[in-house]
A and B are shown apart, each in its own frame.
Chain A
């Protein structure tokens, strides 16, 4: 089997199984199909993470390698936020107060883990070199998180009703992430120098803007295609007025459904 076919079998096929599995599990109501679809998605995920061993010659397997590295801290961050959010003042599905500490711990460990991947020896490296997709993921993640927290902080302050305290917390979060970016620009990491990080921040910014513009154009084209199709449809023909028999039938139904006591 040549390298191309191996990459198709061990990387691209599992990569396709994940969205297909998620789509089927969300759209079906049959329990067996749902379980099978979830299994498909999980199997695809596992095969992608294993791709550095199954197709070591394919450059795409570096993405599988990165996925294996970031799945742990990402899960800790998301689970931590879930526990913190739902152990607070929520009307339904409230978790015990003790889960808040667990959530905060989980969040801190997840974030420190990510930071350790930049400044400590946890950097995703393959064959002695830093995984090139890590240099895509990390600056993009930090840059966008800082932007989103900043936007959300102002959104809470301007649209929210008396949400100054929450807005200040989000400003703090945006500032904290921004300070990590600045530290990365000034202080060399374990395997990535400050100059390299600054270089990849530029690329991350270009990447985010390019992706946003590309998606916006695709949505615009989609709207234009629908608009042109709907405009080309003929006007719906008018129907004949109801006959006397139909009118009496409708009258009977309306009379049967109008009720209530009459005023005396």
Chain B
């Protein structure tokens, strides 16, 4: 597969992946449009981004311990990732303290942070289940077909 075709394939697959998402939003606009939800989506997007960044950085920090095994356990990258995770947490706290900017019907900053973590866990559960089903469906459609035989031709 040449390079141009490969780029086209990736673009086409990305479009196919985003097609249902865009269609749902287009349909929603046609039905009257939940403009209010559109405005509420911004704090949700920001909270999801900050929480996944912070927890993702902490997970990768744990991963660095295994990396350090083969490098005489250097401390610099560990501190680097710890600083990166701390920046995420600090940014979250600062932005949550700016009035209603990122708050979502929770009484305090602490409650919002816990809500964000549980929210991310629930979203991750939905994402993992959807991934499992999509992979399983793909695999089962392939194995449901008749077995293929590879015929080798003599030169």
Contact = CB atoms under 8 A, between A and B. Distances in A.
Contact of B53 (A201, A203, A215): A215
A247 interface: no
Contact of B48 (A66, A148, A207): A207
A158 B9 CA distance: 7
Given A59-B115, A133-B118, A181-B20, 18 more contacts: A74-B129, A84-B144, A143-B20, A149-B137, A154-B16, A156-B138, A166-B138, A166-B145, A170-B141, A186-B31, A195-B34, A198-B28, A202-B40, A205-B21, A212-B52, A213-B49, A214-B52, A214-B53
B56 A219 contact: yes
Max chain B C-beta neighbours (<10 A), residue from A15, A62, A145: A145
Max chain B C-beta neighbours (<10 A), residue from A15, A181, A218: A218
B146 A173 contact: no
A81 B12 contact: no
A90 B126 contact: no
A78 B136 contact: yes
A124 B14 CA distance: 34
Interface residues of B, number: 78
A123 interface: no
Contacts of B49: 210-211, 213-214, 217
A63 B37 contact: no
B135 to A, nearest CB: 8
Interface stretch (A29-37, A38-46, A223-231, A252-260): A223-231
Interface string A77-94: 110011011101110000
